Amino acid sequence: MRHGVGPVTVSRAIALLAAEGAVVTRPGSGTYVATRRPRPADAEPDTSWQAVALAGRQFQPERPDEQSGTPAPGTIALSGGYLHENLQPTRLLGGALARAARRPDAWHRAPAAGLSTLRTIFAQQAGGDVDPEDVLVTGGGQGALSMLFRAVAAPGDPVLVESPTYVGALAAARSAGLRPVPVPMDEHGLRPDLLADAFAMTGARLLYCQPTFHNPTGTVLAPERRGQVVDVARAAGAFVIEDDFARHLGHGRTVPRPLVADDRDGTVIHVRSLTKAASPSLRIGGVVARGPVMRRLLGMRRVDDFFIARPLQEAAVELLSTPAWDRHLRTLATALNHRCAVLADALARELPDWTLLQLPEGGLHLWLRLPAGLTEADIADAVPAHRVAVNLGHQYFAAEPPAAHLRLGFAAAAEPADLVEAAARLAAAASRPRSADD
Ligand SMILES: Cc1ncc(COP(=O)(O)O)c(C=O)c1O
């Protein structure tokens, strides 16, 4: 055939075109190009009435995203929070999904709380005496956070957060009508003394934190502080949401056990996700919670979306129960460790006056303070022309940022060599605004 494809490919292409409305098939006659009627300009829908209808309704804040717009071809991504396809276990995922699809019950309804095998695996991974009954399967970590902020707090309530913290958590909390209140952290994580002050000042009943490989700083909450943070929250009658998103993103050293493993009374609500170490589209996560919170979450699930798609849950079970998953995690740890060092070295060479606040032992990012005189806006303006994408620091702060920062990721670029090139491009981008000031 002229296009070098077989009849199966041709008939699939025609079926796709028919579904898109580009062709019409007339049984017994043939397939014909559909007459397309472009929408006339004056037929653009007039949606201005919606501005009136929505006035006074709660505004859903959008997640800030300075990467809007298509980056120029050849742009190196130091932005974003997921693995490049080169680091994803694509073959394993394909095999897991294929095995899941072959199960006779693959398309049956799933239980509201999730498949019992998956709940058992998540319970076992959480450790301590966490029981499968304590686990709710969710659509990734973000879905879990959105549910939790709605379940455990009411609009107008304060929620304490680390400063800085994950942008998506701030967006989800604000979307639930909550008021994020920052609590300072240092290189050992959240400061329990200031946490106690913040609970006392605000009357908050909720803390959101990431004790292990915190995004954006990579910090791990120090061993002696882990119990203290939970004790301070318990004394305030508050919940702790432990976002354990980076559990499988360690760079090779021992990863501390989750706070929930030592929880005795349902203070800690634990969130985990498979997207970070596998693929952003494996949108499967889990919440560990006990007591009335779990009952509320189950109630919400039954109202919001009934259950999480069974084929994806089955695929997650298949993935997690093959020995190749552990091999993938070991390979990933080595790759992340290498990439982290490559980017840190390149930045130290190219931009010696930028301060790397900590060399992380897990996670996907470096967190840097910019030198005096260089603003985030300078960088935002300059980087597109130098074809490198970054995340600006201010959006990670619930209140005024104490200084200008950037979050630079080492996992979204295709190759480690790209990280060296990206550091050189950043140096070129940074040199222009400063020379203009000089
Ligand atoms: C700290 C943190 N928590 C949760 C999430 C949510 O990820 P997902 O919904 O893909 O599991 C992210 C993603 O960037 C994150 O960085």
Over residues 256-276, the mean pLDDT reads: 97
Least confident residue range of 3-7, 85-89, 352-356, 420-424: 3-7
Give the atom of ligand 1 at the shortest distance from the alpha carbon of 142: 9
Give the tens place of pLDDT for each residue, 370-427.
Answer: 999 999 999 999 999 999 999 999 999 999 999 999 999 999 999 999 999 999 999 9
Could you give the percent of the chain with pLDDT greater than 70? 95
Domains along the chain? Answer: 7-53 (no CATH), 76-86+325-430 (3.90.1150.10), 103-322 (3.40.640.10)
- In this prediction the pTM is 0.92
Q: Look at ligand 1, atom 8, and give the residue with the nearest C-alpha.
A: 141
Contact between 427 and 351 (Cβ < 8 Å): yes
Spatial separation of the C-alpha atoms in residues 402 and 399, rounded to whole Å: 9
- Ligand 1 neighbour 141 (Cβ under 6 A): yes
Q: Tokens 């009411």 map to which residue?
A: 154
pLDDT at residue 285 greater than cutoff 90: yes
Q: What pLDDT shows up at residue 403?
A: 96
CB atoms within 10 A of CB 391: 24
pLDDT tens digits, one per residue of 89-144:
999 999 999 999 999 999 999 999 999 999 999 999 999 999 999 999 999 999 99
pLDDT of residue 437: 47
Whole-number Å distance between alpha carbons of 279 and 319: 12
For the chain, the residue count is 438
Give the single-character DSSP code of 371. Answer: P
**C-alpha–C-alpha distance, residues 354 and 374, integer Å:** 10
**pLDDT mean across residues, the chain:** 93
- In tens, the pLDDT along 25-45 reads 888 899 999 887 777 777 788
Q: 33 exposed, middle or buried (CB, 10 Å; 0-12, 13-18, 19+)?
A: exposed
**Nearest atom in ligand 1 to 215's CA:** 1
State the pLDDT at residue 436: 44
Is residue 61 predicted with pLDDT exceeding 80? Answer: no
Question: How many angstroms is it from 245 CA to the middle of ligand 1?
Answer: 6
Residue 63 pLDDT? 60
Q: What is the pLDDT of residue 435?
A: 45
